[in-house]
Amino acid sequence: QVQLVESGGGLVQTGGSLRLSCAASGSFFSLNAMAWYRQAPGKQRELVAAITAGRNTNYADSVKGRFTISRDNAKRTVYLRMNNLKPEDTAVYYCNLNPPSLASWGQGTQVTVSS
């Protein structure tokens, strides 16, 4: 079971930037495909960005060109760099395996973008 702890969220104005971090436990982190997900109030959780063990990346259309996912296997950490943030990016952001493990959902980190 992989345990995940997200951090880096906060309140930012439209057009601002944030970098989220996700620290993972477990010896086989480098072999896992990882992803960032988000859930806005009243909406279903959605996949935002994904990265394979080989560092291939994929993004939701709504964040392409603005968000960048990366990983540091030595630190067992996945990052999400978010630029040009919009109010519709407001959500709780989670990281997890891809596909996600039910047992590995953490508390997430809140991102709020003010207009």
What does the pLDDT look like over 84-105, one tens digit per residue? 999 999 999 999 999 999 888 9
Instruction: Provide the percentage of residues in the chain whose pLDDT is more than 90.
Output: 88
Residues constituting the chain:
115
pLDDT grade for 6, boundaries at 50, 70 and 90: very high
pLDDT surpasses 80 at 1: no
pLDDT grade for 12, boundaries at 50, 70 and 90: very high
pLDDT of amino acid 2 = 83
pLDDT grade for 76, boundaries at 50, 70 and 90: very high
Q: How far is CA 36 from the centre of its chain?
A: 3
